[in-house]
Amino acid sequence: MKLLSIAIPCYNSAAYMRHCIESLLPGGDEVEILIVDDGSFKDNTAEIADEYERKYPGICRAIHQENGGHGEAVNTGLRNASGIYFKVVDSDDWVNEDAYRQVLAVLRRFVQEEETELDMLVTNFVYEKQGARRKKVMNYRTALPREELIDWSGTKMFMLGQYILMHSVIYRTELLRECGLELPKHTFYVDNIFVYEPLPFVKSIYYLDVNFYRYFIGRDDQSVNETVMIGRLDQQIRVTKLMLGYYDVTKIQNRKLRHYMVRYLEIMMTVSSILAIRSETKENLEKKKELWQYLKQKNFPLYLRLRWGFLGQGINLPGKGGRKLSIACYKITQKFYGFN
């Protein structure tokens, strides 16, 4: 059994996937690198995956499938994972080698201790924004105590915009299987589901304050490019609706976890709403309205909490002037956090 399985979803990724894979090879025999070729056809992604399997047998494994989207590539990685822990690294991203060694040391220690089971390891990630001089680091120092095994009661204050994302999390593999994680096919932005759905099953958390994951942003065709996101608003809304269904207050006993999950949903509703506003089309503004109506009908107490919270009021300001103010606030936040 491997210590860590790392799935790399690849779709026409030949231009950058080597950098990603090479950054993961220092993990050696403790790690398996599952290179999931998601029906690539425009380049030699499949051949590169096979090349690494030949060069590094027992470490790299090439898996070829019909195109199912990012979520199905993650599903395939999870189905084939033999590691005790599971991580997703996108093919245009990479990891820091020194931080990587520290991550493996922490995972190894918990496995050797046996009596102490670690469900979720959290690390920092760096926005590797193309053209940016200063790289924004997302850390969790105000939210989680450093190098201490805690449960949700031991968490501190998550600041606005400070959320555990796919880039920052490593889950115990069996936990993901036990919670029935199955990401939807042919859908973007499912990384939010990957992080969110397992949260109620997490009983132990450890924060390692290292800048492990390097998150590249800046290509025009990236799914997180704002123009692309507006064009895929339907998929953003679909993911948001699915996540609303995962929040069940009767099954989430811990108060801090409930608070965190609500705040995450607040961000998802805000992102969907601001993209609709940014599009400046009547059709998308109707989709925004319908999303809020959906929440109102599905979970009225949650609707009241989100609609009349700070962000809910900010992105539902009336009229054209209100929408302009919402966009201005969004741009300030965008500049501060460095996303998109």
The per-residue pLDDT for range 5-30, each reduced to its tens digit, is: 999 999 999 999 999 999 999 999 99
Domain end call among 168, 191, 217: 217
Q: Are residues 241 and 291 in the same domain?
A: yes
Q: pLDDT of 164-216, one tens digit each?
A: 999 999 999 999 999 999 999 999 999 999 999 999 999 999 999 999 999 99
Q: Are residues 195 and 240 in the same domain?
A: no
Number of domains in the chain: 2
Q: Are residues 32 and 159 in the same domain?
A: yes
CA–CA gap between residue 148 and residue 37 (Å, rounded): 37
CA–CA gap between residue 137 and residue 337 (Å, rounded): 9
Domain end call among 217, 248, 274: 217
Give the pair of three-digit tokens for residue 260: 């965190």
Query: Can you name the residues that pair with 129 across neighbouring β-strands?
Result: 217
Phi, psi for 171 (deg, rounded to 5): -105, 155
Q: Provide the 3-class DSSP secondary structure of residue 144.
A: coil
Residue 311 has pLDDT above 70, yes or no: yes
Q: Are residues 95 and 135 in the same domain?
A: yes
Residue 338 has pLDDT above 60, yes or no: no
Q: Output the pLDDT for position 324.
A: 85
Q: Output the pLDDT for position 15.
A: 95
Q: Are residues 31 and 106 in the same domain?
A: yes
Q: Output the pLDDT for position 321.
A: 87
State the pLDDT confidence band at 334, using cuts at 50, 70 and 90.
low
Q: What is the mean pLDDT of the chain?
A: 93
Q: pLDDT of 41-51, one tens digit each?
A: 999 999 999 99
Other CB atoms within a 10 A radius of the CB of residue 332 amount to 10
Residue 60 has pLDDT above 70, yes or no: yes
Q: pLDDT of 221-256, one tens digit each?
A: 666 778 889 999 999 999 999 999 999 888 898 999
- Domain of residue 236, residue span: 226-337
Q: Output the pLDDT for position 318.
A: 86
Q: Are residues 206 and 257 in the same domain?
A: no
Q: Are residues 240 and 325 in the same domain?
A: yes
Q: Are residues 249 and 206 in the same domain?
A: no
Domain end call among 188, 217, 246: 217
Q: Are residues 47 and 182 in the same domain?
A: yes
Q: Output the pLDDT for position 220.
A: 66
State the pLDDT confidence band at 323, using cuts at 50, 70 and 90.
confident
Q: Are residues 205 and 240 in the same domain?
A: no
Q: pLDDT of 63-117, one tens digit each?
A: 999 999 999 999 999 999 999 999 999 999 999 999 999 999 999 999 998 778 9
Q: Are residues 84 and 22 in the same domain?
A: yes
Give Cα separations from 86 to 95, 118, 168, 194, 302 (angstroms).
15, 12, 12, 11, 32
Q: Are residues 240 and 202 in the same domain?
A: no
Q: Are 236 and 271 spatial neighbours (Cβ–Cβ below 8 Å)? A: yes
Strands (E), the chain: 4-10, 31-38, 60-65, 85-88, 94-95, 120-129, 136-138, 169-172, 205-217
CATH of the domain at 22: 3.90.550.10
Give Cα separations from 142 to 135, 148, 200, 224, 248 (angstroms).
19, 14, 21, 26, 27
- pTM value is 0.93
Give Cα separations from 181 to 24, 86, 173, 175, 258 (angstroms).
25, 13, 11, 9, 19
